[in-house]
C-alpha cells in the first residue's frame, strides 16, 4: 500500500507495539512517509508483543507459514528460507515451507527486524518507538497520550492496540491465594516459573493452548514432578492435520441459532469422516462466515454460545501444531502430564505450597491435591469491568469507551471506538482482541492483518474501498 497523493502531515499515536500495533505502524509509514507514527510499547523488543516475546524454543506458531503472510517485504516464507531452525518443521511438512509450522521465536525476530528497519530516532516524520506505557490521554482540548514517565505525545489520531490482557485469576476477589508466592497469576510473568523445585507437583488451571505452552516450557526446563491440568470440561486443543478439503456450507443456513449451527457442524464432521476427510477441514470451512454468524446473533444467543458451545469451539478452532500435539501426547503417556475435568475448591496453605479439593466433573469422590505452584493458564482476559489498567481506567472515566455487556472487550464500529453514550469516535480506534465484541474471532494473524489493512487505508485517507471483514474472511479458513 503506497500512495503518491500528498497529505498534510499528521501524527498517529499507537498504544501497544505488539503484532497489531507494529503492523499498523509499518503499513502507515509506508503509505504516508511524511507522517509521524509513534508507537508506545513497554517492551524493549517492539513487534513481538506477549505472544512472540515470552516464548521458549519449543513453542511453535499455531498456524502454518502460508497463513502468516502480512504483505510485508520480504515475505515471511522468503525470510525463513535457509534457516537451520526450520529444518525439523520442513521435514514434518514434506519440504513445503508454506505448510510448515515455524518456531514462534522466528516470527518474533521477523517482526522486530521489520520495525527496526524503518524506525527513526528523532521527532521528525516516520516510525518512532517510545519505550513505556501509555497511562492516560492528554487533557482536552489537547489530544494525545501521556506515558507513565510523564512524557507526552500529541496526536491527531490514537489507536488502541494493547493486545491480550493477562488472565483473570479464577479465584474469589478475597482469596488469600491471589497474594501467595505459590500462585502465578500470569503464566508469562518473568517470575511465574522461577524457584519451582523440579521434583514437586505443579497444578495448571486451564487445559487450552496456554496450558500446552507452559507444560512444554516446564518440561523443557527440566521439571520432573507431576503436572496436572484442570478445567471444567478437561478438553485439550485438537491438532492440525495436513491434507483434505471441505467446501463452505453454513452460509445458506443463516441466520440460525448457536444450537442449530452446532448440530450442522457435527453432522458435517460425520459426513467428512465417512469420506475420509479430516474434521479440521470442516472447521476451516466454517471460518469464512464466523463474523457474519456472530453479528447475526442476538445478545441472548451470543451469551448461550459463550456459556455452552464456546469451549468445544475453541479446542477445535485453536489447534496445536502436529509436533506440539505429539510432544503433549508423550508427556501424558509418560505420566508427566495429566488432564482432568472438574472444579477446584477449598484452597489451603500447605507449607510453601497449596492443597486444594478437586470435585470431578460428572460426580465421583472429591480428592485432595497438593501443588508447589499453581499456574493460571485460563487464557487472556477480555472483560474490562473492574480492571484498573491505567489507560482504560482513564478512558472509562472520560466516557470515551464502552466495554461490552458480554465482557469481551470494547464496542467498536469498523475499528472506531464507541463512547459510553454510543457515539462513534472520529479519532480513537482499536485493533485486535479489544474489538472482539464486533467480530468474536479477531486473534489470528490473517484476521488481524485484514483488519489492519482496512484501518490503514482509512487513516491514510486513500480512495481504496475496503470490504467488510466478514467479506474479507472468505479465504481465511484453511489451516487457521
- pLDDT tens, residue by residue, 271-329: 999 999 999 999 999 988 998 999 999 999 999 999 999 999 999 999 999 999 999 99
The three-state DSSP-derived secondary structure of the chain is: CCCCCCCCCCEEEEECCCHHHHHHHHHHHHHCCCCEEEEEECCCCCCCCCCCCCCCCCCECCCCHHHHCCCCCCCHHHHHCCCHHHHHHHHHCCCCHHHCCCEHHHHHHHHHHHHHHHECCCCCCEEEEEECCEEEECCCCCCEEEECCCCEEECCEEEECCCCECCCCCCCCCCHHHHCCCEECCCCCCCCCCCCCCCCCEEEECCCHHHHHHHHHHHHCCCCCCEEEEECCCCCCCECCCCCCCCCCCHHHCCCCHHHHHHHHHHHHHHHHHCCCCHHHHHHHHHHHHHHHHHHCCHHHHHHHHHHHHHHHHHHHCCECHHHHHHHHHHHHCCCEEEEEEEEEEEEEECCEEEEEEEECCCCCCEEEEECEEEECCCCECCCCCCCCHHHHHHHHCCCCCECCCCCCECEECCEEECCCCCEEEEEEECHHHHHHHHCCCCCHHHHHHHHHHHHHHHHCCCCCCCCHHHHHHHCCCCC
Check which CATH number belongs to the domain holding 456 and give it: 3.50.50.60
Contact 181, 194 (CB under 8 A): no
Domain assignment present for residue 244? The answer is: no
Domain assignment present for residue 184? The answer is: yes
Domain assignment present for residue 480? The answer is: no
Position 387 scores a pLDDT of: 75
Position 287 scores a pLDDT of: 86
Residue 462 in this model has a pLDDT that exceeds 90? no
Quickly state the pLDDT bin for 7 (edges 50, 70, 90). Answer: low
CA distance 36 to 7: 12
Position 18 scores a pLDDT of: 93
Together in a domain, 339 and 430: no
Domain coverage including residue 270:
251-317
Domain assignment present for residue 18? The answer is: yes
Task: Give the model confidence (pLDDT) of 185-206 as tens digits.
Answer: 999 998 999 999 999 999 999 9
Domain assignment present for residue 3? The answer is: no
Together in a domain, 112 and 224: no
Task: Give the model confidence (pLDDT) of 78-120 as tens digits.
Answer: 999 999 999 999 998 899 999 999 999 999 999 999 999 999 9
Which of 273, 297, 317 lies at the terminal end of a domain, its last residue? Answer: 317
Residue 182 in this model has a pLDDT that exceeds 60? yes
Torsion of CA 55, 57, 59, 62, to 10 degrees: 100
Together in a domain, 182 and 160: no
Rounded to an integer, the average pLDDT of 219-224 is: 95
Rounded to an integer, the average pLDDT of 325-343 is: 97
Quickly state the pLDDT bin for 242 (edges 50, 70, 90). Answer: confident
Q: Which of 363-377, 427-441, 451-465 has the lowest mean pLDDT?
A: 451-465
Residue 478 in this model has a pLDDT that exceeds 70? no
Quickly state the pLDDT bin for 9 (edges 50, 70, 90). Answer: confident
Residue 479 in this model has a pLDDT that exceeds 50? no
CA distance 85 to 100: 12
Domain assignment present for residue 1? The answer is: no
Together in a domain, 183 and 276: no
Residue 470 in this model has a pLDDT that exceeds 60? no
Quickly state the pLDDT bin for 147 (edges 50, 70, 90). Answer: very high
Q: State residue 421 phi and psi, 5-degree precision.
A: -90, 5
Position 204 scores a pLDDT of: 98
Together in a domain, 151 and 49: yes
Domain count, the chain: 3
Together in a domain, 334 and 217: yes
Domain assignment present for residue 170? The answer is: no
Quickly state the pLDDT bin for 5 (edges 50, 70, 90). Answer: very low
Share of the chain above pLDDT 90, in %: 78
Position 123 scores a pLDDT of: 80
Q: Vertex 360, ends 357 and 366: CA angle to 5°?
A: 40
Q: What is the mean pLDDT of the chain?
A: 91
Together in a domain, 416 and 282: no
Which of 355, 376, 397 lies at the terminal end of a domain, its last residue? Answer: 376
Together in a domain, 46 and 122: yes
Task: Give the model confidence (pLDDT) of 18-56 as tens digits.
Answer: 999 999 999 999 999 999 999 999 988 888 876 666 677
Together in a domain, 262 and 301: yes
Which of 283, 301, 317 lies at the terminal end of a domain, its last residue? Answer: 317
Quickly state the pLDDT bin for 464 (edges 50, 70, 90). Answer: low
Together in a domain, 332 and 192: yes
Together in a domain, 258 and 371: no
Together in a domain, 65 and 137: yes
Domain assignment present for residue 288? The answer is: yes
Amino acid at each position: 500500500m503506497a500512495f503518491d497523493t500528498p497529505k498534510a502531515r499528521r501524527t498517529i499515536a499507537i498504544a501497544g507495539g505488539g503484532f497489531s500495533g507494529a503492523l499498523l505502524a509499518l503499513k502507515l509509514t509506508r503509505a504516508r512517509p511524511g507522517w509521524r507514527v509513534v508507537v508506545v510499547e513497554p517492551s524493549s523488543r517492539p513487534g513481538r508483543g506477549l505472544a512472540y516475546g515470552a516464548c521458549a524454543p519449543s513453542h511453535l506458531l499455531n498456524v502454518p507459514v502460508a497463513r502468516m503472510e502480512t504483505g510485508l517485504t520480504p515475505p515471511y516464507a522468503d525470510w525463513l528460507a535457509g534457516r537451520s531452525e526450520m529444518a525439523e518443521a520442513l521435514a514434518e511438512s514434506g519440504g513445503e515451507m508454506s505448510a510448515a509450522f515455524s518456531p514462534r521465536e522466528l516470527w518474533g525476530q521477523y517482526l522486530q527486524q521489520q520495525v527496526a528497519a524503518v524506525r527513526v530516532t528523532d521527532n521528525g516524520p516516520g516510525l518512532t518507538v517510545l519505550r513505556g506505557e501509555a497511562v492516560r490521554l492528554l487533557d482536552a482540548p489537547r489530544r494525545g497520550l501521556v506515558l507513565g514517565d510523564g512524557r507526552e505525545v500529541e496526536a491527531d489520531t490514537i489507536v488502541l492496540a494493547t493486545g491480550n490482557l493477562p488472565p483473570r485469576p479464577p479465584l474469589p476477589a478475597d482469596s488469600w491465594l491471589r497474594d501467595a508466592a505459590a500462585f502465578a497469576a500470569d503464566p508469562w510473568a518473568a517470575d511465574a516459573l522461577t524457584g519451582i523445585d523440579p521434583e514437586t507437583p505443579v497444578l495448571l488451571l486451564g487445559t487450552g493452548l496456554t496450558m500446552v505452552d507452559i507444560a512444554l516450557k516446564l518440561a523443557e526446563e527440566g521439571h520432573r514432578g507431576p503436572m496436572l491440568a484442570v478445567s471444567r470440561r478437561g478438553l485439550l486443543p485438537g491438532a492440525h492435520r495436513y491434507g483434505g478439503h471441505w467446501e463452505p456450507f453454513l452460509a445458506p443456513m443463516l441466520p440460525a441459532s448457536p444450537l442449530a449451527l452446532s448440530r450442522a457442524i457435527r453432522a458435517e464432521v460425520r459426513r467428512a469422516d465417512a469420506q475420509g476427510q479430516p474434521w479440521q477441514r470442516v472447521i476451516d470451512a466454517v471460518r469464512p462466515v464466523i463474523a457474519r454468524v456472530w453479528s447475526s446473533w442476538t445478545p441472548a444467543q451470543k451469551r448461550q454460545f459463550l456459556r455452552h458451545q464456546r469451549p468445544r469451539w475453541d479446542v477445535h478452532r485453536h489447534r496445536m501444531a502436529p509436533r506440539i500435539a505429539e510432544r503433549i501426547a508423550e508427556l501424558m503417556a509418560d505420566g508427566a502430564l495429566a488432564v482432568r475435568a472438574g472444579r477446584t475448591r477449598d484452597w489451603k496453605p500447605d507449607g510453601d505450597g497449596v492443597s486444594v479439593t478437586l470435585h470431578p466433573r460428572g460426580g465421583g469422590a472429591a480428592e485432595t491435591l497438593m501443588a508447589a505452584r499453581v499456574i493460571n493458564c485460563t487464557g487472556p482476559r477480555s472483560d474490562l469491568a473492574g480492571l484498573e489498567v491505567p489507560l482504560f481506567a482513564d478512558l472509562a472515566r472520560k466516557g470515551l469507551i464502552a466495554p461490552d455487556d458480554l465482557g469481551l472487550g470494547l464496542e467498536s464500529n469498523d475499528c472506531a471506538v464507541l463512547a459510553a453514550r454510543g457515539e462513534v469516535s472520529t479519532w480513537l480506534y482499536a485493533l485486535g482482541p479489544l474489538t472482539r465484541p464486533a467480530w468474536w474471532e479477531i486473534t489470528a494473524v490473517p484476521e488481524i492483518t485484514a483488519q489492519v489493512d482496512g484501518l490503514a487505508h482509512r487513516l491514510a485517507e486513500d480512495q481504496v474501498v475496503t470490504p467488510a471483514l466478514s467479506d474479507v474472511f472468505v479465504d481465511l479458513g484453511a489451516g487457521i
